[in-house]
Structure formats: C-alpha cells, structure tokens
Amino acid sequence: MNFISTRGGNTVSGARAIVQGLSENGGLFVPETFPEVTAAELEEMLTMSYPERAAKVLLKYLDEYDGEELLKALEAAYAKFDGDPAPLVKIADGVYILELFHGPTCAFKDMALTVLPYLLRKGCDICGIKENVLILVATSGDTGKAALEGFKDAEGIKIMVFYPDDGVSKMQKLQMCTQDGGNVNVVAVKGNFDDCQSAVKEIFNSADYAKQLKEKNYILSSANSINFGRLAPQIAYYFSAYLDMVTSCQIEMGQEIDFCVPTGNFGNILAAYYAKRMGLPIRRLHCASNMNNILTDFLKSGEYDMHREFYKTTSPSMDILISSNLERLLFEISGRDAVLTSQRMQDLKEKGVYRITEGEKAAIAQIFDGGFANEDEVVETIYDLFCETGYTMDTHTGCAMKVAQDWFEKNKKDETKMVVVSTASPYKFPQDVLYAVTGNDVKDSFKGVKRLHAATAMAVPKCLAGLKDKAIRFNAVAKRGELFDEVLKFVD
C-alpha cells in the first residue's frame, strides 16, 4: 500500500513513510486508501493470539513487510508484557475498561513503541537506507520513556527525547532521566509540551538542519504518533478488544460498540477511527479531555482556537493545546483536500485558530463527540469507582470514565456497550491517585506508591518500584531555540 501526505506531495511506500516520519512539506502520512477487514476475517481473528491479531491488521497497511517476520517481531515485543497485552475488564453492565498499561513502561505507548524499532529498522532495509537514524521525540510524559526503552541500544539508531520541564509527573520524569542505554539522551525544555512538539517539527522541516545531520551520516525519524509506524500498532488493540467482547459473549459479532478515549494529541482516538474505517463495528467515539479541553470545544463549535489558558493538571499526558493527529481527521472530512488542510495548519501556526465548515462539523459529529473532566471531577470519579467496585484508575482514565458516565447520564436509554480506554498504570501517578482514593496527600512519589499499594492491594510494577535506586543520568535543561544545538552535541 502507498501513502500520501495530508498536505500534498509525492506518494511513498509504507516503509518510507515510517522511516521518514513526516513528509517533506510537514504533512502527516496517511494510507492512500483504507484497507478492509472483512466479516470472514473478523471471524478468523476470534481464535488468534494478540500478536496474530496485530499482524493481521498491520499487514493490511504494510504489505511490503514479510508476514512471518513481522509476526515474530510482534511476539517478541508482546512477550515483554505482563500477561495479556490488552486485557478487557468488565466494570458494570455495559461498561468495560481496556487496560493498555501492562508493558515495560506501564503506559499504552508500549503497545506501539515495542514494535516500532523493528518497523523502522526493517523499513530502512527495504528502502536501502544506509545512514544512521536519529529519532527525535517530544513527550508529554509517557511516549518519552516508552520510546527510550524500545530503542535503547538499537544498532544504527540514536534517540533523543524532549519533555516539558515541570510538565510531567515525578514518576514520569524519573523514568526518563534514569534511562539506561548507550544511544539515548533526554533534555528538559523550558515550556510546555506544545513548545517541545513545535520545536521538533521545526527541526524536521528545516532543510538546513537536515543537511547538517546528513553530513554527520544521520537521517531524522520520529517515534511520536505523527509517525504512521507509531499509529498503526494502536489500531490493533481496538480490533482485539472487540473480538474479546465477542468471545466472552458480551456482544454478538457485528453488534456495534462505543469507545471512550482519553486523548491529548488525538493519536489514540484516531487509531480507533481508522479501525472503524477498516470495518470494525464501532458506533461512536467519545473524545475525553482534561481541563485543557480544546478538543471538546472544537467538536462542539467547529473552531480550533489556541488562544486560551493552559492548565497543568494531574493528567499531564493530556496537557496539550496542539493536537497534531487531528490533522489526519481534518484531511479525511475535507474530502482529502490537501491544499485546504495545509492552509488550516498554516492558519493555526500563524493565527492560532482555524475553522471548519458546518458540513464538516456535521460529518465529524456522526462519529465523534467530546467531553472533559475538571480536577475535582477526576478525583470524585476515581474515588467513586474504587468504592463501588474496588477498581483503581489512573488520572487519565478518570477523565475518560467521567465523560463516559456523563454520556450515559444524558442518554439513559442508550444500551450500546462502552469500552473506556485505560492508558496508564495508577502507579505512574501515585500521589494523585492515592489522594483520590484515600484523601491522603504525600509529597514523595515512593511513599505514594507504598501507601497506594496498602490501600488497594494492587501489585506494584517492578519497573516503577526499582526507580528509587536508579541514578539520574540526564539533567540538561534548554530553551526551545537551543534544541538543535543539543541535537548536534548528541550526534557528535
């Protein structure tokens, strides 16, 4: 299958799209057409393992990759997980939680970033690329650690992560700054996630920077969800969740369900949209935000306006005002109009705002709706669910559960099953979850872990428990305009 850019330009192969990350004009790669998973194929997938299901989905897009080799790579990647990579938990009648935090770094980003090193390295081989690869990552918390862990000590690859100084949880920061591996680097950026993301995009879009790196025998790639290689493995867990609901007799094959997804950069929920376009019986997608509810406002008004207050919340991975993957949805609902999509992205960059038409807004509303939770509502939602069921959620999942509850409150007769996507272990945000569950407020993250374990009896992930004794390796802090200088130091 070939890929095209949301902003026009040349058609490329799937391998080239993954290696390149972004198109030359700054656009995001999308499939030339959406492949179909037929009803017969869904039936066939019922008895498959998770890696087999994922391989089936990925090969629909990446047909130049060898199927047997891809399956082996997926099996190796998901063998690093603690049991089922994506278990489904029934919370109440009609409400389920899809747990995506059982990987090496306890966040849903592991579902893709344990696979991306293979997709990237093999993509280089397919494209005949001999240069070393430099991966630049902007992170709001979870992507950074998952990418560092996935690519550490990978041959011919270096990875550099930028995170907002004072914009991630203490546990997320420790995970990144103690990372082992001889090919990794981590830099804090003075600003928020949008500053990190914009700086990385500027580096990608600079011919001068590319030339300087080429002289040092490096090409750029990305591990953010702007890279289709990051997005594609995420499509698979929506298929798997649906199939698990069929095999557990919660629904019949062909029956539609809803997903409620906590999202900041719009990648996770976009993967669900792609699954729907491929034929998965999804009725609606509920976009859950925190107090940085720019997506909620956009879905209601059709106007994307960055001129608003930025909040630092207890769900930092959603503290985002520039949702990059929304560009892919805009491209689709505009009738794949690359010129119009490019203009809207230019308007966002220059004016901080763009608008879609009423027709486009109506088209989105047929599939998507949005809601958000403020900080108090997140606390109450986590507390109530724990008291009622004994189940403990992290803060991001708390946002999504509140939005799901609001939907059922407004639509009391709706009997469509709802799957709430859980994106991180509660132990990644121990102090905030502890406060929500018990009312106790502690300053130290590891005391929070200890007391949260005592209160909930949840097993503490080994990768988080061991952080306390790891030495800090990275403590550099830079301004946005200094990031390419940091890149050059790293490759040298």
Task: Render pLDDT for 410-431 as a digit per residue (tens, 0 to 9).
Answer: 999 999 999 999 999 999 999 9
pLDDT of 96 over the 90 cut: yes
Q: What phi, psi does 38 have (nearest 5°)?
A: -75, 165
What pLDDT was estimated at residue 166?
86
SS3 call for 358: helix
Residues 6+ apart with CB under 8 A from 362: none
CA nearest 411: which of 371, 384, 364, 376?
A: 371
Confidence of residue 473 (pLDDT cuts 50, 70, 90): very high
Is 305:294 a contact under the CB 8 Å cutoff? yes
Give the pairing of strands 257-262 and 282-289: parallel
Burial 286-325, CB ≥16 within 10 A → b, else e: bbbbbbbbbbbbbbeebebbeeeebbebbbbbbbbbbbbb
Confidence of residue 446 (pLDDT cuts 50, 70, 90): very high
Average pLDDT, the chain: 96
Across the range 359-377, mean pLDDT stands at 98
Q: What is the CA radius of gyration of the chain?
A: 21
| Torsion, CA 200, CA 201, CA 206, CA 212, rounded to 10 | 30
pLDDT of 141 over the 90 cut: no
pLDDT of 448 over the 90 cut: yes
Confidence of residue 375 (pLDDT cuts 50, 70, 90): very high
Q: How far is CA 108 from the centre of its chain?
A: 7
Confidence of residue 119 (pLDDT cuts 50, 70, 90): very high
CA nearest 226: which of 209, 203, 192, 258?
A: 203
Helix axes 326-333, 267-277, angle to 10 degrees: 40
Across the range 392-397, mean pLDDT stands at 98
